[in-house]
Structure 1
Amino acid sequence: MELHDWLRPDWRASGTQAFMTTRQGGVSLNGWHSLNLGRSVGDDPAAVAENRRRVAEAIGATPVFLKQMHGTRVVRLAPSLAVPGLEPEPADASISLDPALACAVMAADCMPVLFAAPGGVGAAHAGWRGLSAGVLDNTVQALCEATGCEPAQVQAWMGPCIGPAAFEVGADVLEAFGAAAVQEDQPHFRYQANAAGQPRWRADLVGLARQRLQSLGLTDIHGGHWCTFSDPERFFSYRFEQTRHQPGGRMAAVIRLT
């Protein structure tokens, strides 16, 4: 199947297949054009079902989508979670040791992170809330425990997310990462007051995620080169679409063992 302009991790993870979708390659119309994979954004359910079918065909396995909560829960995929019509499991990350079940996380500004380890794969949805609370930590731990590997054996790939030029945040985000909300530049936070003179910072989600992954013992870290907000023709971006009062869709990062 043609993968259009979908992204492929630039790692050397043998025995895996992985990609990140973009807006292209589906059947949705209007603001959801064309490969929206989100069921809760107002799109035609039949179009979403066809789009998900195309993703399943491309990955060659059953992608198991989650009910993402901006939390830290990780689930290990099993056939019981892939039953058609089943309510998605409330979690923000999954791991799989079964080639028939693909990990899938959706995003539209938050960071999707894919993991490959000897004998297992994983995927995590890491917005600032989940990232600061430990969703990557929990995913790496679950994957290492399930496969018996060490963190240094795990490869990670960071997909498209909102970039630091566009990701304006308040003091609550700095505090969540243990940073002092002082009105000056800090590692991964650049100070810039808004038009009303209120203190704001530009957050580097990629830098924060890379720092967290390195602290966990990962050394083989890839990706993180794309800003969803600045390229709305290619990527869905929740913040971009909100500023224009437009509907928007969701992309997915998907990975499986082969």
Structure 2
Amino acid sequence: MEHLIPALPTVSGQPWPGINYFCTTRQGGSSTGPWASFNLGAHAGDAADTVDNNRQRLRAILPGNPVWLKQVHGAQVFDADAVDEGGQGGGIPVADAAITLQANRVLAIMTADCLPVVLASVDGQALGVAHAGWRGLAAGVLENTLDALRSRLPGNTAWRAWIGPAISQSCFEVGADVYDAFVGADPGSAVYFIPHNTDGKWLADLPGLARHRLLKANVSTIELSDQCTFNQADMYYSYRRDAATGRMATLAWRTG
């Protein structure tokens, strides 16, 4: 579902009570070259002042400063309620997921093929976001995020998830190490891999693997964007496609 927030193209899912969330696209910013045009990644090789301009434009449509993370393809979850009202508090946390129970505390992750996943209690009281590449997904970043949310909101049994734009199975060739990381721990994951025409290679369904793990973790409602970052070069950055490229951001916050 595409939205237009003051001339800024974004992608989101079905409306959630008490939660706003969306993923930016590569459109609507001031970056040039391989980062054109709405690059939000300060680590991607783009000019720092241009990234700052893009982030300022993003900030103008948000209720607060985003809590940015230093993502390392891991499974660490940051409690964003530990930061001050100004945004980052003691610096940029090293984590690949964040949670909050506070209103207008804006969570943020960046992607360019990996999965952006938004998680929330159905009643809108608790919210989390996760960056899930195959390493983080296999390491349990989604389960860790849910565990952190459940520890902050004990007794809540109803959860929902949105899996945003990411690389699709037809474009995501992986080796036996990726296959083994999932299927070795859970044989039921094998259905999300198709043998490829190169020896020892597979096509991995990353969104499908995420949905599979979320269902096992008792998330009752899961929506997939069905948007492929690799195939839609006009809309999305893709590291697998371009290597030198920008980053989208997925933002989410509780409204009250």
Q: TM (normalized to structure 2)?
A: 0.90
Give yes or no for contact 1:111–1:158 (8 Å, CA) kept in 2: yes
The one-letter amino acid paired with 2:142 is L
Give yes or no for contact 2:66–2:87 (8 Å, CA) kept in 1: no
| Aligned mates of 2:99, 2:7 — CA distance in 1 | 23
The one-letter amino acid paired with 1:191 is P
Deviation digits for residues 6-42 of structure 1 (CA, Å, limit 9, x no counterpart): 10222x4211111100001211111111110111111
Is 82-91 or 64-73 further displaced after alignment?
82-91
| Aligned mates of 2:99, 2:173 — CA distance in 1 | 31
| Aligned mates of 1:39, 1:85 — CA distance in 2 | 18
| Aligned mates of 1:105, 1:84 — CA distance in 2 | 14
| Aligned mates of 2:215, 2:88 — CA distance in 1 | 37
Structure 2 CA distance for partners of 1:217 and 1:252, relative to 1, 3 Å = same
Residue 204 of structure 1: how far off its partner (Å): 0.3
Give yes or no for contact 2:109–2:251 (8 Å, CA) kept in 1: yes
Same amino acid, percent of matched pairs: 40
The one-letter amino acid paired with 1:9 is G
| Aligned with residue 99 of structure 1, among 79, 93, 103 | 103
Residue 2 of structure 1: how far off its partner (Å): 1.5
| Aligned with residue 109 of structure 1, among 97, 108, 113 | 113
Residue 4 of structure 1: how far off its partner (Å): 3.4
Residues 155-166 of structure 1 mapped to structure 2, 5 A cutoff: 155-166=160-171
Q: State the SS of the aligned residue for 1:63.
A: coil
Report the counterpart of residue 24 of structure 1 in structure 2.
Answer: 27
Question: Over aligned residues, Cα RMSD in angstroms?
Answer: 1.9
| Aligned mates of 1:93, 1:201 — CA distance in 2 | 27
| Aligned mates of 1:102, 1:16 — CA distance in 2 | 11
| Aligned mates of 1:186, 1:86 — CA distance in 2 | 42
Give yes or no for contact 2:69–2:94 (8 Å, CA) kept in 1: yes
Residue 57 of structure 1: how far off its partner (Å): 2.0
Tell me, yes or no, if structure 1 residue 205 matches structure 2 residue 206: yes
Report the counterpart of residue 75 of structure 1 in structure 2.
Answer: 78
Structure 2 CA distance for partners of 1:7 and 1:65, relative to 1, 3 Å = same
Q: State the SS of the aligned residue for 1:214.
A: helix
Q: TM (normalized to structure 1)?
A: 0.89
| Aligned with residue 144 of structure 2, among 125, 138, 142 | 138
Report the counterpart of residue 180 of structure 2 in structure 1.
Answer: 175
Give yes or no for contact 1:81–1:89 (8 Å, CA) kept in 2: no
Structure 2 CA distance for partners of 1:139 and 1:85, relative to 1, 3 Å = closer
Report the counterpart of residue 49 of structure 1 in structure 2.
Answer: 52
Report the counterpart of residue 257 of structure 1 in structure 2.
Answer: 254
Give yes or no for contact 1:108–1:249 (8 Å, CA) kept in 2: yes
Is 160-169 or 112-121 further displaced after alignment?
112-121
Give yes or no for contact 1:59–1:255 (8 Å, CA) kept in 2: no
| Moved segments of 4+, more than 3 Å | 80-87
The one-letter amino acid paired with 2:212 is Q
Report the counterpart of residue 63 of structure 2 in structure 1.
Answer: 60
Deviation digits for residues 91-113 of structure 1 (CA, Å, limit 9, x no counterpart): 00000112232110100000000
Residues 234-249 of structure 1 mapped to structure 2, 5 A cutoff: 234-242=235-243, 247-249=244-246
